[in-house]
Amino acid sequence: MNKMTVKDVDVSGKKVLVRVDFNVPLKDGEVTDDTRIRAAVPTIEYLLKNNAAVILMSHLGRPKGEVKEELRMDSVAQRLADILGEEVKKSDDCTGQETKHAVQELKAKEILLLENTRFYPEEKKNDPGFAKELANYADIFVNDAFGAAHRAHASTVGVADYIPAAAGFLMKKEIDVLSSTLNSPEHPFVAIIGGAKISDKIGVIENLIDKVDTLIIGGGMANTFLKAKGYDMGESLVEDDKVNQAEEIIQRYNEKGVELLLPVDLVIAEKMQEDADYKTVEVDGISKGWKALDIGEETSKKYFKIIKEAAAVVWNGPMGVFEIDNFAKGTMKVAEAVALCKGKTIIGGGDSAAAVEKAGVADKIFHISTGGGASLEFLEGKELPGISVIQEK
Ligand code: ADP
Ligand code: MG
């Protein structure tokens, strides 16, 4: 990566404004998964150690530009304090006199967490006035929020108009891993793309044609491809307006000689329910009124072998409705294969990360991206605004 990082700037005695991705799941006001908080710790600890005053900001949930009591950052501040073993001061606002005062009072080696940035409609609008107010708190901006890097908001992009911007360690790691795998992968390079809808991931599938040796397709989106191949998909989730595009993609992969694998058998059921009857059929045997909810055993065995032997793997999107055990087997088998693969393995996508957790193999994955949407856009080959604003070395 050619971008400036926190290590390239002198932070000692400076106030450093850090955009982190503390958009964590909450239940009854408590943080239920602190992965994202932990992921930001190396940058925060580095700044403290190097004598900076650290001002943190993040969005949390979707308050839609209003103050929502249940989306305040207090429990996040508490969890961060527990993880760091340090005091974390918390402002109940992002702007205003009290926040300004708290920032002024903040000393080197101290931490202040601002309130949820999305309480302000100005955040998503990337309002210059709001961005300037935030930027005025500090000498340097550090963007460590890879998970929000695909959004051009005031706290991810706007502030960089006023103060120099550098990448945090998490941001650097995400960029390094994803770009090296995409641009100079070891071969065979295998991509596994699944999830509900093909429309979410057409850009990724199109960008990967020049990169991968094999593209493995599963999940709901496989249905649209199978329909393009002429199969009757019954009541399965199919995007009819994308069937032509799916056909074109199959053709282009063919012409380029890049392997594109589709399921050969499927687990089907009458309903997407825990207690629904289900059975495995070949792709040409979907019963009238039934729907495909997972890849079948023959398919997952075939995928397993290819994934296990790969030198690089990128996985985005589960192979079936893995939230329901009867339809989770294909996804679990793929997770197992990715875990056994000795190559560089990367997981992007929130549900795929959850699937790897469910399979109990998260610690056997080379890199689980903290950014769902951001990693997807990265795989599409798009430039992410939150990365663009970081200065080149
Ligand atoms: P990720 O978050 O990893 O990018 P997606 O959000 O694209 O993944 O897709 C995950 C969702 O896709 C899951 O909720 C899963 O239940 C759903 N899904 C997978 N296969 C099917 C299918 N055959 N029919 C309907 N939904 C499916
Ligand atoms: Mg998802």
What does each of the 393 residues of the chain score in pLDDT, given as a tens digit?
A: 899 999 999 999 999 999 999 999 999 999 999 999 999 999 999 999 999 999 999 999 999 999 999 999 999 999 999 999 999 999 999 999 999 999 999 999 999 999 999 999 999 999 999 999 999 999 999 999 999 999 999 999 999 999 999 999 999 999 999 999 999 999 999 999 999 999 989 999 999 999 999 999 999 999 999 999 999 999 999 999 999 999 999 999 999 999 999 999 999 999 999 999 999 999 999 999 999 999 999 999 999 999 999 999 999 999 999 999 999 999 999 999 999 999 999 999 889 999 999 999 999 999 999 998 999 999 999 999 999 999 999
Given this model, what pLDDT does residue 276 score?
Answer: 96
Cα 236 to ligand 1 centroid, rounded to whole Å: 13
Please compute Rg for the chain using Cα positions: 23
Given this model, what pLDDT does residue 215 score?
Answer: 98
Cα 301 to ligand 2 centroid, rounded to whole Å: 24
Which atom of ligand 1 sits closest to the CA of residue 218? Answer: 20
Distance in angstroms (rounded) separating the CA atoms of residues 196 and 297: 19
Which atom of ligand 1 sits closest to the CA of residue 293? Answer: 23
Among 205, 351, 369, name the best residue to mutate to test ligand 1's pocket (greatest count of ligand atoms within 8 A of Cβ): 351
Q: Is the CB of 317 under 6 A from ligand 1?
A: yes
Q: Is the CB of 352 under 6 A from ligand 1?
A: yes
Cα 110 to ligand 2 centroid, rounded to whole Å: 36
Q: Is the CB of 330 under 6 A from ligand 1?
A: no
Do 385 and 148 meet the contact criterion of CB atoms below 8 Å apart?
no
Distance of CA 291 to the CA centre of its chain: 28
Q: Is the CB of 318 under 6 A from ligand 1?
A: yes
Cα 371 to ligand 1 centroid, rounded to whole Å: 17
Among 321, 322, 334, name the best residue to mutate to test ligand 1's pocket (greatest count of ligand atoms within 8 A of Cβ): 321
Q: Is the CB of 335 under 6 A from ligand 1?
A: no
Residues making up the chain, counted from first to last: 393
Which atom of ligand 1 sits closest to the CA of residue 324? Answer: 16
Which alpha helices (H) appear in the chain, and where do they start and end? Answer: 35-49, 74-84, 97-105, 121-124, 128-135, 169-183, 202-208, 221-228, 243-256, 297-308, 329-340, 350-358, 372-379, 385-388
Q: Is the CB of 296 under 6 A from ligand 1?
A: no
Handedness of CA 7, 12, 16, 18 (dihedral sign): positive
Give Cα separations from 2 to 8, 144, 176, 226, 344 (angstroms): 11, 16, 10, 42, 22
Reference 341, options 180, 190, 184; nearest CA is 190
| Residue with CA closest to ligand 1 atom 22 | 220
Cα 3 to ligand 1 centroid, rounded to whole Å: 34
Residues catalogued as catalytic: 36, 197, 350, 373
| Residue with CA closest to ligand 1 atom 24 | 220
Given this model, what pLDDT does residue 108 score?
Answer: 98
| Amino acid found at 53 | A
Which atom of ligand 1 sits closest to the CA of residue 201? Answer: 7
Given this model, what pLDDT does residue 349 score?
Answer: 87
Q: Is the CB of 219 under 6 A from ligand 1?
A: yes
Q: Is the CB of 168 under 6 A from ligand 1?
A: no
Cα 316 to ligand 2 centroid, rounded to whole Å: 9
